[in-house]
Structure 1
Amino acid sequence: MSATIFTNGTILTLDDANSTPKAVGIDGERIVAVGHLHDVRAALPGADEVDLAGRTLIPAFIDPHGHFPDSAFVTLLRADLASPPRGECRSLADVFARLSAKAAQTPKGEWVMGAALDETLLAEGRMPTRDELDAVSRDHPVWVIHTSGHCGVANSMALAHQGISEGTPDPAGGRFLRDTAGRLTGGIEGLSAMGEMGDTHFLINQQSFRRSFDAAREEYLAHGVALAQNSWTALPLLELFADVASQGDPGIDLVLLPVAEIEPGFSTSNLCRNWPGANISLGPRKLLTDGSFLMRTAWLTKPYHTGAPGKVPDKGLAYMERDTLFAEVRKLHDMGYQIHTHCNGDAASDMYLDAIEAALATNPRADHRHTIIHGQVMREDQLERCAELGVTVSFFPAHVWYWGDQHYSELLGPERSQNISPTGWAEKAGVRFTIHNDASVTPTRPLHLIHTTVNRVTHGGRTLGEEQKISALSALRAHTIDAAWQVFQEDERGSIEPGKLADLVILDASPLDRPDRIDTIRVEQTWRRGARVYQVENKKVGALV
């Protein structure tokens, strides 16, 4: 791996001063020189030079919250049931056709799984039923999981396989849906009710996991992401990642978030103590307090704008009792861990902030960086409280594009929907935040996500929340240096500075120059740890001179 100098283009370092030097020099895995071209050349005599030819060099993107390699699980192992603008399923007939095709390829008795289904985008506006999935196949357990990952529908064979019968009681934080006669409809809501069917490792073995890992890696690198995240890593998935890590550099860096329920036992286990490899690291511990807006299980302080079909508007529900959450936060906080917690609704955020405040009262910890994940309807007072408590947030602005119109007309209404993913309020309150796609809920597309955060335009063309718009520079930082900071890696990556990893991306234009068209910019090259790992096809870019 030879030394390389990048020059003759726009260089956005995203350092503390947002400096724009004339050249960057790398040697091996690290950035070694940043500044004037003659100074960089003096530091690296004889280095190869990459002519940016007016293009833009930035630090590689960092995924602050996602479920790597879920996107490849969907494309390689499951029936993809996504609807436009992501997929092609417009009706239940399309859903059943895809499931039937998958069943025809699957030996009898083996599972058929569909993923990424969003009933709000189907012509019928509803989930399939147990009987309809029985019509797809009675020879296979059939399980369809919602795009949110928080609910699904099973056929009779799948229910029986999981030991779910008409007399099975609803677990805490979940429910088995029934018709008016008390018969199971196949619908299952909540992680506690879905059990293993709700886990991302469901039906995955070492071979299929590695195949999915490699495919997801190539997808992420093609979009400029050099550090990915799996933010709900149960023990079986930890074991699969450890197997990959033990085989050497996997070609992408990862942060894993072990689920809180396996602590404190996991921390004292041989797997944790002897974790293999440096490229796949263990990060914060993960908690879950509520559900999904699309399911109307995100927990709100005020009711949803309209009711679900046949129901009056309610406030959603908590997935965890208050005392349980307080105990879990205190346990992890006292163990010294950073905590990332899924809080979609503002009532969920209130409870989590209360738990953090209580933990800090008995055990003060400076710079803990406990994090609210999603925070989609956080209020101004909550963000001010985050600033006081040292809490950071990772927002989900992709919802503006994909489901903003539903938020406006049905879920939150015209007023509250203006402030989903309130990045403007967070910036005003002085809260350092990140932005994410939550792949595979929405695909890993950093430039589209940044565009949506800056412009806040829905798929239907409506602008949601002028007050919440932020600059292209702020959004770019939220997906690079701030994302590194949020998982305590700001000294290692996230900006272009000497000593940091040479994780770099060449764009065909600068997001700062076309903030209203960031979604038209494309990644032309991705460099990871000093090596070029992606180059756009059929175009010569960044030629060595």
Structure 2
Amino acid sequence: MSGLIFTGGPILSMDAGDTRPEAVGVFGDRIVAVGTLAQVRQALPDATLQELGGRTLIPAFIDPHGHFPDSAIVALLRADLSPRTGCRSLADLFARLAAKAAQTAPGEWVMGAGLDDSQLAERRMPTRDELDAVSPDHPIWVIHSSGHCGVANSMALARQGITQDSPDPEGGRYLRDASGRLTGGIEGLSAMGEMGDTHFLLDEASFACCFAAARAEYLAQGVTLAQNSWTAQPLLDLFHKVAVQVDPGIDLILLPVAEIEPEFSQTGIGRDWPEGAITLGPRKLLTDGSFLMRTAFLTAPYLGTEETGLAYMSRDLLFSEVRKLHRLGFQVHCHCNGDAASDMFLDAVAAAQADHPRDDHRHTIIHGQVMRRDQIVRCRALGVSVSFFPAHVWFWGDQHHEEILGPRRAQDISPTGWAEAEGVRFTIHNDASVTPTRPLELIETTVTRRTQGGRVLGPDQRQSPLSALRAHTIDAAWQVFREKERGSLEVGKLAELAILDDNPLTTSGAIGAIRVSETWRRGIRVYRDTTMKVGEPA
């Protein structure tokens, strides 16, 4: 017997008692001893010492909601239009699309992704005519960073059969100018159709490349369990080809879209899905849109308007889908950005429970960005969890304050403080690729509630570093019924570890500036920051 012993720095166990052991012992893919160095050495007498050198050991991060491998799809296959990469004007956008078109055969698609018009100098989306001017020889589709809208040029509209006479589908819109002519703008998943799908234009080879690139990114951030939180059948087919092969090098939870049930699980590949690192999790529903597009469904209008957003599905259909999934025994994750959307989902859960009571279902509201306190109270009564999106505070908090919701409502976006006070267990997420998978930056925002402009939104919603860290580790494991196997450093759990160059609970600097030094998956080191030496000052 040999094994590994981690010691020589702070160890944050994330167990129920928040214990701070001196050492953690690993044998194979499991944690076998936790306690003093002497106790762990007794359990593993000939183990190799893994000296932390003052660095901090924590459980590896768990992604509570995201879209693996979308970030790599954007980086490798699309023109990246995100402000993080310096796309700050329409001229920048057109230049990047033109460069992509120059590399693409005539008639083939040119796609741009990550566009945030609120960060452009012109503060607007491009038009169909402007995209036509980029290239008359390519269908061009630019999707917004929210994933809920985009702009198509004339050739792309024609390819998709969208004409002047096309009626708006339920839950979507084809935008028109004052004369009624299509502008190229498309809002809502039903209107975007396949152009809004992650798998659009993907094949097995390109998917494999994106999978590998996203895996490297996530592991470098200390994430060993990721999600694809909107997995339609074509994407499930691609993931299945990976799942039946060798270990993929990262653990994944897939959330099949609700509409394919029960056929997917009873007669499709879901029936015999292989055991392993890629597993099936909750089923996913989508009730509304995005705040940036004013399509999140609200009970009170957006600032300075009479608009309350858009419901992506009718109340009757939502009730029917929740009831179906609930009776089939599935956990449900439901995208609800606006409070009107949350009202609908909570009503649907209450009806499903009345029809077919289930203990500990852990149905979950995803985003819940403007949930009211009475809704948080109702979550506790119904056994509903929430995964909040505090990254919005940093990336778009100033827009919420000044343009979208106004100063009062903006204070309470992602109300983690209310959830903690009311005893509702919650997680936090980045929703990659809407915002990048950066757990420590997300934790800092959850703790500070600071916007890019320097204001603090909702001081009473701030979390302690420990609470925010738990929301990205053990609470994230619990939310998807994985708490018995990961999320904390306890005997019997998988050896999923991250080593940080500073302690998030005591650092004198910014939590977001802390670097992941090493990531260990199932007892094997899968990432190491080679720019740092053990013992080097942070």
- TM-score category by the smaller chain? over 0.9
Residue 309 of structure 1 corresponds to none
By how many angstroms is 1:179 displaced? 1.3
By how many angstroms is 1:514 displaced? 2.5
* Alpha-carbon separation, structure 1, partners of 2:90 and 2:29: 50
1:447 counterpart (440, 450, 461): 440
TM-score, scaled relative to structure 2: 0.98
Aligned residues with identical type, % of pairs: 71
Residue 174 of structure 2 corresponds to 176
- Kept after mapping to 2: 8 A contact 1:344/1:374: yes
- Kept after mapping to 2: 8 A contact 1:249/1:277: no
- Kept after mapping to 2: 8 A contact 1:451/1:515: no
- Kept after mapping to 1: 8 A contact 2:2/2:45: no
* Alpha-carbon separation, structure 2, partners of 1:484 and 1:515: 29
Q: CA separation of 1:425/1:515 partners in 2, compared to 1, >3 Å: closer, same or farther?
A: farther
Residue 255 of structure 1 corresponds to 253
Opposite residue 477 of structure 1, the aligned amino acid is R
**Does 2:210 align with 1:217?**
no
SS in 2 for 1:286: strand
SS in 1 for 2:430: coil
TM-score, scaled relative to structure 1: 0.97
By how many angstroms is 1:276 displaced? 2.7
Opposite residue 359 of structure 1, the aligned amino acid is A
Opposite residue 12 of structure 1, the aligned amino acid is L
Residue 91 of structure 1 corresponds to 89
Residue 298 of structure 1 corresponds to 296
By how many angstroms is 1:188 displaced? 0.6
- Kept after mapping to 1: 8 A contact 2:419/2:426: yes
By how many angstroms is 1:172 displaced? 0.5
What are the within-5 Å matches in structure 2 for residues 211-290 of structure 1? 211-290=209-288
Residue 9 of structure 1 corresponds to 9
* Alpha-carbon separation, structure 2, partners of 1:235 and 1:92: 35
Residue 400 of structure 2 corresponds to 407
Residue 205 of structure 1 corresponds to 203
Residue 43 of structure 1 corresponds to 43
Residue 18 of structure 2 corresponds to 18
Residue 354 of structure 2 corresponds to 361
5+ unaligned residues in a row in structure 1: which ranges? 307-311
CA offsets, 1:306-360, max 9 Å, x none? Answer: 3xxxxx3411111110011000000000000000000000010011000000000
**Could you say what the CA RMSD is over the residues aligned between the two structures, in angstroms?**
1.2
Residue 158 of structure 1 corresponds to 156
Residue 421 of structure 1 corresponds to 414
By how many angstroms is 1:270 displaced? 3.8
Opposite residue 338 of structure 1, the aligned amino acid is Q
Runs of 4+ in 1 over 6 A off after TM superposition: none
SS in 2 for 1:11: coil
SS in 2 for 1:498: coil
* Alpha-carbon separation, structure 2, partners of 1:431 and 1:538: 40
SS in 1 for 2:296: coil
By how many angstroms is 1:541 displaced? 2.8
* Alpha-carbon separation, structure 1, partners of 2:255 and 2:439: 21
By how many angstroms is 1:277 displaced? 4.1
Residue 461 of structure 2 corresponds to 468
SS in 2 for 1:10: coil
2:326 counterpart (315, 328, 333): 333
* Alpha-carbon separation, structure 1, partners of 2:294 and 2:481: 33
* Alpha-carbon separation, structure 1, partners of 2:155 and 2:248: 38
- Kept after mapping to 1: 8 A contact 2:2/2:46: no
- Kept after mapping to 2: 8 A contact 1:2/1:28: no
By how many angstroms is 1:269 displaced? 2.5
By how many angstroms is 1:2 displaced? 5.4
1:436 counterpart (425, 429, 434): 429
* Alpha-carbon separation, structure 2, partners of 1:467 and 1:535: 37
By how many angstroms is 1:183 displaced? 1.2
CA offsets, 1:210-252, max 9 Å, x none? Answer: 0000000000000000000000000000000011111111000
* Alpha-carbon separation, structure 1, partners of 2:508 and 2:222: 18
* Alpha-carbon separation, structure 2, partners of 1:479 and 1:327: 32
Opposite residue 450 of structure 2, the aligned amino acid is V
